[in-house]
Amino acid sequence: MLNKVMLIGNLGKDPEIRYTQAGTAVATFNVATTERFKGKDGQMQDQTEWHRVVAWSRLAEICGEYLHKGSKVYIEGRLQTRKWTDQNGNEKYTTEIIAREMKMLSPRGGTDQDSSGGYQEPPFPDAPAGMMGTGEDVPF
């Protein structure tokens, strides 16, 4: 089986860093990807898709330190859909990309140009039940 996602896009805002009770860093941020195409009227149109990204441990710390709103970034990871219950008792679903690798494509302090740099998360065991994701069920 294969569950792999690769994105190149721009951050919508600075990453949000939190820590679990055990002290593990968790970064969450949104990445926008935009597809350009010619519409039926012959005019160029943009279609933007927003992707929620979650990074753990050292990768989360690096994302928090180096990524900023507008940064162009390459993310590689896997899709995960979580089910959770909101404050009103309604069941909700969230689909996220659990990042395993991140490469900064913007220069330091910049937002658009190509540069090198990145970090690949070393393999780690699956988190215990209740530890994956960052929704209402995470005890921060």
Residue 107 has a pLDDT of 73
| Range in 2-6, 67-71, 99-103, 134-138 the model is least confident about | 134-138
CA distance 54 to 37: 29
Q: Which residue has the higher pLDDT, 113 or 104?
A: 104
Residue 109 has a pLDDT of 53
Using DSSP's 3-state secondary structure scheme, residue 38 falls into strand
How far is C-alpha 13 from the chain's CA centre? Answer: 11
**The whole model's pTM is what?**
0.71
pLDDT, tens digit (0-9, with 9 covering 90-100), for 21-80: 999 999 999 999 999 888 888 888 889 999 999 999 999 999 999 999 999 999 999 999
- Is 133 inside a domain boundary? no
Question: Considering its fold, how many domains does the chain have in total?
Answer: 1
- Is 80 inside a domain boundary? yes
- Is 136 inside a domain boundary? no
- Is 67 inside a domain boundary? yes
